[in-house]
Amino acid sequence: MNDFWLYLKMGFEHVLDWKAYDHVLFLTALVASYSFQKSKEVIWLVTLFTIGHILSLALSAYDILRVNSDVIEFLIPASIIFTAIYNMFTVGKARRNVKFNLLYFVTFFFGLVHGFGFSIHFNMMAKGADNILLMLVEFALGIELAQILVVFIVLLLGFIIQNLFRFSKRDWVLVISSVVLGMTIPILIDNWIF
């Protein structure tokens, strides 16, 4: 039982690590255009991200697939920037749901990318583990709980700012996406591979 709490805590802290806040930036950009009324769709998106994340950790831990870490370190901020720009271009569009299947796919793909970004560290932890699959599930639960916490905070902030301070949804999404974009561009530059 101690291992359960250990790996759950590691997954939770992985998302909320302030030294590597890429998860928080991605989740903030991902859910900025949603509200509590769309929480079911948001949970699906977050869960798809977690599934992609854990799948890439499993592929790496079982030595099925390895990906160049320089490419991954570049793709992580690129995925955040893509999501923020996607928000900026689709905010206020009446037909946003038409591209919702694309958003599911992109979120899953970005989960894969972010998981490969953590795979080297995870593989070092998994070396002594008796059951890597169980460790992955426990770690995934921690990731999912932390992501739900981040999503709740972003949705709550959106609710407060839009309802109490009378920001329009469009302005909220543009401001949050711009802040995320501004914080991510330096990370992209630091990891530029071309």
pLDDT reading at 194 higher than 70 = yes
User: In this predicted structure, what is the pLDDT of residue 161?
Assistant: 96
The token pair at 76 is 């992580």
Q: How confident is the model at residue 94 (pLDDT cuts 50, 70, 90)?
A: low
Q: What is the mean pLDDT of the chain?
A: 90
Contact 15, 24 (CB under 8 A): yes
Domain-wise residue ranges, the chain: 2-190
Q: How confident is the model at residue 121 (pLDDT cuts 50, 70, 90)?
A: confident
pLDDT reading at 106 higher than 60 = yes
Which whole number is the average pLDDT over 33-51?
Answer: 91
User: In this predicted structure, what is the pLDDT of residue 99?
Assistant: 52
CA distances from 112 to 10, 55, 187 (A): 18, 7, 19
Which whole number is the average pLDDT over 94-120?
Answer: 80
Instruction: Give the number of other Cβ atoms within 10 Å of residue 41's Cβ.
Output: 15
